[in-house]
Amino acid sequence: MSSPFWITNARLLDPATDYDGQGALHIADGRITAVHKGAGFVPTDDDGVVDAEGLCLSPGLIDIRVKTGEPGAEPKETLKSAALSAAAGGVTTLVIQPDTAPAVDDPAMVDFIQRRGAALGLVNIFAAGAATQGCDGKLMAEIGLMQEAGALYFTDVDRVIPDSRTLMRVMSYAAAFNALIACRPHDPWLAEGAVATSGELATRLGLSSVPAIAERMQLERDLALVEQTGARFLVDQISTAGALETLDRARQRGLEVAASASINHLRFNEVDIGDYRTFYRLDPPLRDESDRLALIEAVRDGRIDVITSAHAPAPAEDKRRPFAEATPGAVGLQTLLPAALGLHHEDGLDLLEVLRPLTCGPAELLGLSAGRLAEEAPADLILFDPAAPVVVDASTLRSKSKNSPFDNRRLQGKVEQTWVGGRTVFNT
């Protein structure tokens, strides 16, 4: 543990308490031990002092949807390179997706991911467990044992569990442990082979496409099973206005359902594909501008609980192909904060509205003690300048893969320092 110290002269941003104002924090033994709100606080002890010089101090970001290549495809990304990217981007907690090789579908694999992450001594690394063995949608995985080993939730990631009986069994079993199940809603038959969203653009470009309704159709089925089983459920990467309407109706019926959206679908629309730019080849595909605006409003009014980077590394040889053959996905850990702050600078959300689904929202969903500026909370913190210009240069990203759709984009929001458990893990 580092020696006790103060962070003074900061603009504290704490979405958990809706506080946005001057203040100071005291850090000791890896935790926040005092919070002083208001300007002009001067420490009277001999502990060290970090002068924030008026910059924003918030809880570290929590990214619950991060893919790596470890184990099985380390040239794409390792846990270490992902952790270095996260620290540079102000992300202090990662949840690694289970679709690795082998899949994280038993307690030993959960333990491997979390021991490897802890040994790095960088950011907090947790595992999500597979809902079915091998993420293949057929046989239920060892959900109870994986939860005991520390898995935070259970998902087959981008794969749908097509057999409704299998998904009902997964949900019923998970409900007995109060475990969280996450599914990405898309009808697998309508979406098969699709690389774009149906519409004029996809037709003009000659791209195989999927109608936006495919997301709502699958979500209707999933939510019916949630109602039947009483499971805790996360709608993973919701991306269409129609699915948001379905989600609203489910919540009105009293279902315990949360929703996440990727930063890519909040910042880009299908037009960004342009002349077959494969860095915008994503899954789900980019949507109509009306869908993007609906997602932004859902963040504003709190219907989106979590914003994720949807970090999915892919090396150049997998991206520099014809659009329909390119591997979907984008890296996003290091650019998550400035990309999200675009919702503040360009779309009028206030800073707390932007930070809530990046901090206390995912923390509450997963039962983590992080994500807030409060006494006894972990000292997982970021100091950042929300107005500082940032020009993204993908070649300088710390990820092993450089497939960023924000490459060469001008953003605002620079991370100056990142602490995890009171230790500095990044400093400009």
**CATH code of residue 133:** 3.20.20.140
Q: Is 293 a member of any domain?
A: yes
CATH code of 11's domain: 2.30.40.10
Residue ranges making up the domain that contains 36: 5-57+379-388+397-427
Q: Are residues 113 and 18 in the same domain?
A: no
Same structural domain, 170 and 290 = yes
Contacts of 421 (CB under 8 A, 6+ apart): 1, 30, 31, 378, 379, 380
Position 374 in a domain: no
Residue 373 lies in a domain: no
Is residue 44 located within the same domain as residue 159?
no
Statement to judge: residues 11 and 107 lie in one domain: no
Task: Indicate whether 192 and 52 sit together in one domain.
Answer: no
CB-CB contact of 70 with 61 (8 Å):
no
Cα separation, 44 vs 15, whole angstroms:
28
Residue 74 is encoded by which pair of tokens? 């380390």
Is there a domain that residue 372 lies in?
no
Q: Are residues 216 and 132 in the same domain?
A: yes
pLDDT in tens, 88-115: 999 999 999 999 999 999 999 999 999 9
Same domain for 78 and 34: no
* Assigned domain for 73 exists: yes
Walk along the chain (428 residues) in steps of 10 and give the mean pLDDT of each run. 91 98 98 96 93 98 97 96 98 98 97 97 98 98 98 98 98 97 97 96 97 98 98 98 98 95 98 96 98 98 98 96 97 98 98 98 98 98 98 97 97 98 97
pLDDT score for 1: 61
**Together in a domain, 76 and 40:** no
d(CA 162, CA 218): 9
Task: Check whether residue 338 and residue 421 sit in a common domain.
Answer: no
> Is residue 43 located within the same domain as residue 67?
no
Count how many domains the chain has: 2
- The Cα 210–Cα 403 span in angstroms is 23
The pLDDT score that the predictor gives to residue 141 is: 98
Q: Note the pLDDT of residue 139.
A: 97
Pairwise CA distance, residues 96 & 58, whole Å: 23
Q: Whole-prediction pTM value?
A: 0.98
Identify the pLDDT of residue 351.
98
Q: Is residue 371 domain-resident?
A: no
Tell whether 27 and 94 lie within a shared domain: no
Strands (E), 86-245: 91-96, 124-127, 154-155, 180-183, 196-197, 209-210, 232-235
Same domain, 111 and 204: yes
Give a yes or no: residue 111 inside a domain: yes
Please, which residues have CB within 8 angstroms of residue 225's CB and are 6 or more apart in sequence?
A: 164, 167, 168, 171, 231
Q: What is the pLDDT of residue 84?
A: 98
Distance of CA 106 to the CA centre of its chain: 23
